Chains A and B, each alone.
Chain A
Amino acid sequence: MEVTGTMSTIIDVENFGKRYRRLDVISNVSVTVQRGEIHGLIGPDGSGKSSLLKAIAGVLDFEHGIIRVFGQRVNSEEEAERIKGRIGFMPQGLGQNLYAELSVEENIDFFARLRMVAPADLETRKTRLLEMTHLERFRERPMKHLSGGMKQKLGLVCSLIHQPELIILDEPTTGVDPVSRRDFWVILSQLLEEYGTTAIVSTAYMDEASRFHRVSLMYKGEMLAQGKPQEIRALVSGTVVVVKASSQIEAFAILKSQYLQVQPIGHHLRVFVGKQSSEQAESAVKGSLSHLEIAECYSLRPELEDVLVTLLIDRNEHKNVGSGPVFKTMGRKNGKRNGPAIVARDLVQNFGAFRAVDHLSFEVSQGEIFGLLGANGAGKTTAIKMLTGILPSSSGNGQVAGVDMQKAAQTIKSRVGYMSQAFSLYEDLSALENLKLYGGIYGLSGTGLKERIEQTLALTGLQGYESEMTQGLPMGVRQRLALSCALLHRPSILFLDEPTSGVDPLGRRRFWEILFQLSREEGVSILVTTHYMNEAEHCDHLVLMYAGRSVADETPAGMKLALRKEAGELLELTVDRPVRVLEVLEENGLSDAAIFGNCIHLLTKNISDTVLKIRFLLESNNLSLHKVDEIPISMEDVFVHRVMALEKHASQRQQA
């Protein structure tokens, strides 16, 4: 009876198309997923990932195309019913499919009963899954008291309890801290290997591409590229050159006129040079900056985001984002005040028994871009709320713009600009009406207000959007409009709370350019929070936050350097059976390794010795090793390492 020929193809989507309100939001999307594969759907918000996943799960009607799962068509509801027992689905959002009041065990039992799992099977599976996910200790704990990462792990357990052949995960790692995220990927790989399950997983984080066996890159409802992560990276040839010149602004202006992709990263500039080898590219960049002093210049391999942006530029998408900023100093430069712009000293915030911020201290210098990096719930927003005076701190104090945050909240409020996660715009007002409202609130009126609005719109590149209703604006434009509103009164300090979540890479890059200009040209001090690890590289200075605490306080480059000194270089091993390899490595004392798709990442101080040891270990275990590369350390590596060290330290102290 078995049709073995088609059995290896689990999902087969042909020309899928979906319409909302008579608009084609997704068109001509085709995907195939083979048995045992972890397939990644990568794309910014609004690219159609969720719709595609829901259609595959049989819970969304669609207009065009054919979807086959296990060789069975799922174009109608009855058809979908036939496959639902064989799939597991985890919707977007932390713990979205779970019941907050039920305990970990009750949640699992509920899903097992729903799926009619035999009691004996349930017990063995539950024990095994809880053990793998390290949730064993928390059996009795109500789901609402779990951390974001634990919720996602529990969600995974609940969608796997009936041992589905296919598991569909919609953005399981969004907003989860990097340590839990790493954990999550390892568990997923292990589970899939153990049960032979196939997975299709969506994510908005570009840097997660290497976690998958194969990747589909989506943008605005279209399929941009498909293949193995390496294949997609190879779609665009070129080099990323990182350069540090004597005048960053001047260098930026010059390079911007010659290359389409130039990003200020801290005090460096990151240039994508197409179709050239690293030597060619470096000398070309140096040549363009011949009259400047070049302190540093090196090249990197392009990341997936560079590929995506290049593909988008090929499609002229960058024109929709607006022209780059005009670099001339506009308006008053903030006079150099002495002392730091923001000081936080031992800030503590307790919500009942829960400590959201735990003795947080940091300093933001005048005119720098300062980042607070951490997962959802790490305490970033709470810290900002205390500093801007809308939430009294439980203890500790702070100074903003030279005044005490507790004594002069009102003064602080008139000196700072603030932009929040939700972009805080009135959606039923037009762009201009929003600007006029905030201008009025901050004390501007008449011609002064009019001039200032024009200046700000020129800076953020929003001329022409004035009369449009905010509701209909794309996320990237809304984000810049919110920034414009926060800038009208020429604040010397800007607080930006997760300003880029939900904005696509082009919009994000554009946004960071504006922030760069504000800090470099107008001397505005910027405090920005983010949970995008790679975005943190834009900051001049960073504080990593974990569970309300600061775990590192340094420049991004300094953090990486410190990690290199402490733990060595990062190796990437390309292997066939990563889960097995990881086990072997761990058994032999190489414990800091992590799974990335078909690769293993590992930090080591002594490269040659370690490589020899690994080769020996894998050979003696009959495991193949295709390639060993030295790759640059990412912010995520830093974050994970710092938190692990902290946890190790804490558990040692407990034992002592």
Chain B
Amino acid sequence: MTRFLWFNRLRVMIRKELLQLGRDTALLLFIVYGFVFDVYLAGAGFTFELRNAPFVLLDNDRSEFSRELTGRFNEPIFRFVADVQGAEEAMGFLDRGKALAGLEIPQDFYESLREGRQTEVQINIDATNNVPALLFSSYAEQIISDYGFEAAGMYPKGFSESDIFTLPQVDDQVRVWFNSNLKDSWFMAVIELFTIISILSIMLPAAAFVREKEKGTIEQLRVSPLSPMLIIMPKILSMTLVILGGTFVSIFFVIHPFFDMPLHGNLPVFFLVTALYAFATAGIGIAAASIVRTQGQVAMLVVLLVMPMLLLSGSWTPPEAMPDIARKIMIVSPLYHYFEAGLGIIFRDAGLGQIWHSILGLSAIGAIAFGFGLWHVKR
């Protein structure tokens, strides 16, 4: 009988939370935006690849060789912006941000190559955003060295083009695993999905909890025969349900169809891990909500909690590349554990054997946060 009572109370409270969420248009729009549009935008629009990198050309040689070299800087990776007359004009483009790089070919380029002499080309790169700058320089280096290698073979010794490949050389055979086309849309979309899950699983229960404080309904609940557990638990459970639903939509209706991402991993396990993650993070949200008073404070708190969680999660920088201290702090970021487990399952088809330590970490963080929230409500 009492068990029935307990579950009935849980049921009506969960129902109430879902009804309230269902009528909060602003929050619903935010959820839809997060799980659908934001994930799509991240996958489609956000990239680490070099695309349409604008460059200007200062060709002092104007020979067939210089044309051959510059012709290799083609779309879609590069975009030719202008032919300039002097170094100053080229810098002008860089200064105004109209070009990422300026390529300068010396006057004796043709002659030097013809006569088998060494020659140089100069590239000036705007490194305000260091990632495309780095990519530009490495791609350009590759193109120029390839051309140099060909030229060295052909002139002045007179090999034909096909003969070049008979020369001794090391051939590197790269095998790319888990994302064989190196599509960053896959990684970006999944990372964004994880970020959205983090934000919402902190924000939704915290907002639901603080709304009760603001309206004064929490008093009514506290005078009723509900235990603190039955006040907190339904919020976390209902919001976890919403997040699982959103994740499902995001994976099956956005990431999979739009970015052709194969779903290799054990998805039931993935959803279980997601539920555990949402639960742990919701615990943090509730614990935080128990010390603030208004929705505005919740919004600030979400930023304050999610930013370090993201930075310490290993999503933007692999843990190996972080300073020692940061790597040690990372184990308290639930997102770090979720990344380890979630990415493992989705991309590498990892099983429990590979991700058990992440599950343990998530459970520990969740239990501590939930316990703190519960303790705070009891007081």
Contact = CB atoms under 8 A, between A and B. Distances in A.
Contact of B225 (A414, A421, A436): A414
Among A410, A413, A426, residue most surrounded by chain B Cβ atoms (within 10 Å): A426
A219 interface: no
Given A422-B216, A425-B217, A416 B223 contact: yes
B213 to A, nearest CB: 11
A160 B20 CA distance: 47
Contacts of A388: 223
A420 interface: yes
Interface stretch (A130-138, A364-372, A427-435): A427-435
Contacts of A427: 215
Nearest to A425: B217
Nearest to A420: B219
Interface string B10-46: 0111011001100110000000000000000000000
A59 B221 CA distance: 40
B208 to A, nearest CB: 11
A441 B226 contact: yes
Given A414-B225, A428-B20, A428-B24, A443 B216 contact: no
A226 interface: no
Contacts of A422: 215-217, 219
B112 interface: no
B16 A429 contact: yes
A410 B225 contact: yes
Nearest to B16: A437
Given A433-B16, A436-B12, A441-B12, A424 B216 contact: yes
Contacts of A410: 225
A485 to B, nearest CB: 8
B198 to A, nearest CB: 26
A413 B227 CA distance: 10
A438 interface: yes
B8 interface: yes
B224 A441 contact: yes
Nearest to A441: B224
Contacts of A414: 225
Contacts of A442: 224-225
B327 interface: no
Among B5, B20, B215, B225, residue most surrounded by chain A Cβ atoms (within 10 Å): B225
B220 interface: yes
Contacts of B11: 440
Nearest to B219: A420
A234 to B, nearest CB: 43
Given A414-B225, A429-B16, A443 B5 contact: yes
Interface string A404-425: 0000001001101010111011
A258 interface: no
A429 B212 CA distance: 13
Interface in B37-87: none
A390 interface: yes
A445 interface: yes
B223 A413 contact: yes
Contact of A441 (B19, B20, B225): B225
A43 to B, nearest CB: 26
Interface string A534-570: 0000000000000000000000000000000000000
Nearest to A419: B220
B111 to A, nearest CB: 80
B348 interface: no
B217 A441 contact: no
Contacts of A429: 16, 19-20, 23
B9 interface: yes
Interface in A357-404: 388-390
Contacts of B222: 390
B219 A441 contact: no
Contacts of B16: 426, 429, 433, 437
Number of contact residues on B: which range applies?
20 to 34
A433 B19 contact: yes
Contacts of B221: 441
Contacts of A413: 223-225
Contact of B9 (A421, A425, A441): A441
Contacts of B224: 413, 418, 438, 441-442
A421 B225 CA distance: 20
Contacts of A421: 216
Contacts of B9: 440-441, 443
A184 to B, nearest CB: 29
A529 B15 CA distance: 33
Contacts of A428: 19-20, 23-24
A421 B216 CA distance: 9
Contacts of A436: 12
A433 to B, nearest CB: 6
Contact of A426 (B8, B20, B225, B226): B20
Nearest to B220: A424
Contacts of B220: 418, 420, 424
Interface string B202-237: 000000000000011101111111100000000000
B20 A440 contact: no
Nearest to B1: A443
A390 B221 CA distance: 10
A437 B216 contact: no
A425 B20 CA distance: 12
A441 B23 CA distance: 21
A487 B359 CA distance: 46
A86 to B, nearest CB: 38
Interface in B172-228: 215-217, 219-226
Among A414, A425, A427, A440, residue most surrounded by chain B Cβ atoms (within 10 Å): A440
A287 to B, nearest CB: 47
A421 B16 CA distance: 22
B216 to A, nearest CB: 4
A445 B5 CA distance: 9
Contacts of A424: 215-217, 219-220
B369 to A, nearest CB: 24
Contacts of A425: 217
A442 B216 CA distance: 19
B216 A420 contact: yes
Contacts of A437: 12-13, 15-16
Given A413-B225, A441-B224, A390 B219 contact: yes
A390 B224 CA distance: 10
Interface in B77-106: none
Contacts of B23: 428-429
A105 to B, nearest CB: 31
A440 B219 CA distance: 17
A435 to B, nearest CB: 11
A413 B225 CA distance: 5
Nearest to A444: B8
A422 B23 CA distance: 21
A440 B12 contact: yes
A391 to B, nearest CB: 9
Given A413-B223, A413-B224, 4 more contacts: A424-B216, A425-B217, A428-B23, A495-B223
25 contacts: A389-B223, A410-B225, A413-B224, A416-B223, A418-B220, A418-B224, A422-B215, A424-B219, A425-B217, A426-B20, A428-B20, A429-B16, A429-B23, A437-B12, A440-B12, A440-B13, A441-B13, A441-B221, A441-B224, A441-B225, A442-B225, A443-B5, A443-B225, A445-B8, A495-B223
Give 7 closest A-B pairs by Cβ, nearest first: A440-B12, A424-B220, A422-B216, A418-B223, A414-B225, A413-B225, A428-B23
Interface of A: 388-390, 410, 413-414, 416, 418, 420-422, 424-429, 433, 436-443, 445, 495
